[in-house]
Amino acid sequence: MLGWKATNREIRRCKSISEVDERINCLEKLFTRTNDGMVAFALTEELESCGKLLEALQYFEKAERLFPLTYYKYMAGRAIARVKNKLFVEQSDIKSRSVSNGLKCPKCGAIMPQDAKYCGFCGLKL
């Protein structure tokens, strides 16, 4: 297990990678090695910035559970609320658009293309 300083140094190293997918991959590997809340938080920031909101939400929730200090738990809780709000707005936008011959997910109500096999929001098999 890495110490606090070494973990933060590794986070900075991962975040300095220019290609976003490589940055995310680096942080995912670091999280697997450390199971550290700060690594999860850094990873979620990257995932959120490139629109991978469901993955970001999962890691923010992990970060919240892993953080030992109340202040960091609070930061993660605010991030969770922000991402949930973004997901709600995104889903509402999709619901409000008229999609001819679309499929409505029976679980979450999202409208998917006619040929969709799974809901893009909740993952339910259509």
Domain assignment present for residue 120? The answer is no
Q: What angle do CA 86, 108, 95 make, to 5 degrees?
A: 65
Of 124 and 25, more confident: 25
Let me know if residue 122 belongs to a domain.
Answer: no
Looking at residue 46, its amino acid is E
How many structural domains compose the chain? 1
Does the residue 111 lie in any domain? no
pLDDT tens digit sequence for 52-111: 999 999 999 999 999 999 999 999 999 999 999 888 877 765 555 545 567 778 887 777
pLDDT, the chain, mean: 88
Q: Which residues contact 30 (CB under 8 A, 6 or more apart)?
A: 7, 10, 11, 14, 36, 39
Q: Residue 43 pLDDT more than 50? A: yes
Q: Once rounded to an integer, what is the mean pLDDT over residues 22-27?
A: 98
User: Does the CA dihedral 24-28-34-35 come out positive or negative?
Assistant: positive
**H or E stretch at 3:** none
DSSP 108: T
| Element spanning 94, H or E | helix 70-96
Q: What is the CATH number of the domain that holds 46?
A: 1.25.40.10
pLDDT at 110: 77
Is 49 part of a structural domain of the chain?
A: yes
Q: Which one has a higher pLDDT value, 61 or 118? A: 61
Task: Report which DSSP code applies to 102.
Answer: P
Looking at residue 100, what is its pLDDT? Answer: 55
Q: Are 116 and 126 in contact (CB under 8 A)?
A: yes
- Give pLDDT, residue 98: 47
Range of the domain at 69: 4-99
Q: What is the DSSP letter of 28?
A: H
Supply the pLDDT for residue 102: 74
54 within some domain:
yes
